[in-house]
Amino acid sequence: MSNIEQLIKELRIDIKNDSEESLKKVEQRITNKINENIDSKFKTIQEDIEKLKKTNTENEYRLLEIEKCMRIRNLTFFGIQEQEKSYEDLEKNILNLITSDMNINCHKTELQFIKRLGKRTENKIRPVIVTFSTFGKKLCIMKMKHNLKDKNIYIKEDFPPKILEIRKKLQEQLHKERESGEHDSNKKQQIAKKNKVRSYPSQSNQYSIKNYITNKNKSLLLPKPTTSISSDSE
């Protein structure tokens, strides 16, 4: 009877061990499966994010192109005194500036839209943005903008803020590269000057070498001394 009990006890232990091992295996499989699903979902989410980033970049580019097209017939005038009291006054001032000061034929119908930029402030002249009816008229005015130099009025093309920001960064980078290039050039010139000075002997050395060569040549030109032989027979 005791043997049977011992066997039963051993069987219980084996069953328990097998059960624990089986449970561990099942737990490990479940964990691996969950991790695989998480990795797969994370990868899918990451791919979706990259797609959204790409789409967003493309949309920003499209919007920038649309904004450029909307501003393509615009010009910004700087330095025009704020003397107008209405839109009609501002329109007359711009038209008179183009026709009289710039010597360009321009009709009122070619000025599609005119507006002061920003809020009115004291001691500050706000720029005026003008939209022309045709791109050709804009080009014509840009070609003749030099006629306004004596008026302290200048004209610039109208670009989206994003493009202006990029241009500003490029100009700053170009300025730094030019300064760096000039610095390197000056440094090379200074080194070249130092090397040039070192390559020539000093004034005292020049004289010593010259004296040496002169004295040596003189010694060659002088007659060799003759040895006198005394004549005892005489």
Tell which wins on pLDDT, 177 or 215. 177
Q: Kindly indicate the confidence band of residue 1, based on its pLDDT and cuts at 50, 70 and 90.
A: low
In a domain, 83, yes or no: yes
User: How many domains does the structure of the chain reveal?
Assistant: 3
2 or 155: which leads in pLDDT: 155
> 94, exposed or middle or buried, with CB in 10 Å at 0-12, 13-18, 19+?
buried
Range of the domain at 30: 1-61
Lowest mean pLDDT among 10-14, 131-135, 167-171: 10-14
Q: Give the best-scoring range by mean pLDDT among 11-15, 158-162, 224-228.
A: 158-162
CA–chain centroid gap for 35, Å, is: 44
Would you say residue 231 lies in a domain?
no
What average pLDDT does this structure show over 15-36?
74
SS (H, E, C) the chain: CHHHHHHHHHHHHHHHHHHHHHHHHHHHHHHHHHHHHHHHHHHHHHHHHHHHHHHHHHHHHHHHHHHHHHHCCEEEEECCCCCCCCHHHHHHHHHHHHHHHCCCCCCHHHEEEEEECCCCCCCCCCCEEEEECCHHHHHHHHHCHHHHHHHCCEEEECCCHHHHHHHHHHHHHHHHHHHHHHHHHHHHHHHHHHHHHHHCCCHHHHHHHHHHHHHHHHHHHCCCCCCCCCCCCC
In a domain, 54, yes or no: yes
| Residue where a domain terminates, one of 158, 178, 201 | 158
Whether 150 and 183 share a structural domain? no
The percentage of the chain sitting over the pLDDT mark of 70, rounded to a whole number, equals 70
In a domain, 66, yes or no: no
Q: Based on the fold, state whether residues 109 and 132 are members of the same structural domain.
A: yes
163 in the same domain as 153: no
Which among 20, 42, 61 is the end of a domain?
61
Interacting residues of 134 by C-beta distance below 8 A, sequence separation 6+: 73, 110
Q: For 100-159, write each residue's pLDDT tens digit.
A: 999 999 999 999 999 999 888 888 999 999 999 999 999 999 999 999 988 889 999 998
pLDDT grade, residue 183 (50/70/90)? low
130 with 166, same domain: the answer is no
Average pLDDT, the chain: 78
pLDDT at 74: 95
Q: In whole angstroms, give the CA distance from residue 233 to residue 25.
A: 138
**pLDDT tens for residues 185-229?**
666 677 666 665 454 444 444 444 445 445 544 444 444 444 443
Residues 105 and 167 in one domain: no
Distance in angstroms (rounded) separating the CA atoms of residues 70 and 73: 7
The answer to whether residue 6 is domain-embedded is yes
Contacts of 157 (CB under 8 A, 6+ apart): 74, 75, 76, 142
Q: What is Dmax (Cα atoms) for the chain?
A: 164
**58-101 per-position pLDDT tens digit:** 898 888 889 889 999 999 999 999 989 999 999 999 999 999 99
Residue 8 pLDDT more than 70? no
- Which of 203, 80, 65 lies closest to 130, judged by CA? 80
